[in-house]
Structure 1
Amino acid sequence: MEAANDNQPGDLLMGAGTIAKHLGITSRQLYRLSYGGHVPVFKLGGAIAARRSTLTRWLDQQETSAMRAA
């Protein structure tokens, strides 16, 4: 049976600490960025969550934007 969504094994990051570690920032920094709508995260149950693939694309976009502005 094939999954009806685009989840990839190991793609989901659960919890602020896990996401922050992936991004190389503190949990506090992640919360500030997420409350401001600056980082692509979502709530899953009562926890903050993100997909590695989405974060990777977002980081690539941020880098491209920064390079164009420089």
Structure 2
Amino acid sequence: MEKIVTRPSGANDTGLPLSEDLMTGAEAIAKFMFGNATDTNKRRVYHAAAELGLPTFRIGTTLCARRSTILAWIERQESAA
């Protein structure tokens, strides 16, 4: 079986399979970004997506994001500061 490799536009090529790069749900994104998924951290994810430009998308009603795209976004925020 062939691996599907992510190559997000503008992000570093991590070579991760999509299944490892994709996060589904604010809980998974909060765990990745903040280390845990408290209600406060999940709200922070929704706020960042809606107001701060956190790169997310929806599959149905579920908030989703790629690890590699979020890391690239964070790097751009650091260099702009």
**TM tier, shorter chain?**
0.7 to 0.9
Q: CA shift at 1:21, angstroms?
A: 1.5
Query: What is the percent sequence identity of the aligned residues?
Result: 35
* Alignment partners' CA distance in 1, 2:20 and 2:3: 15
Query: Where in structure 2 are there 5+ consecutive unaligned residues?
Result: 8-16, 35-39
TM-score with structure 1 setting the length = 0.77
TM-score with structure 2 setting the length = 0.68
CA RMSD of aligned residues (A): 2.2
* Alignment partners' CA distance in 2, 1:16 and 1:65: 25
Q: Which amino acid aligns with 1:51?
A: R
Aligned residues: 66
Query: Where in structure 1 are there 5+ consecutive unaligned residues?
Result: none
Q: Greater CA radius of gyration, 1 or 2? A: 1
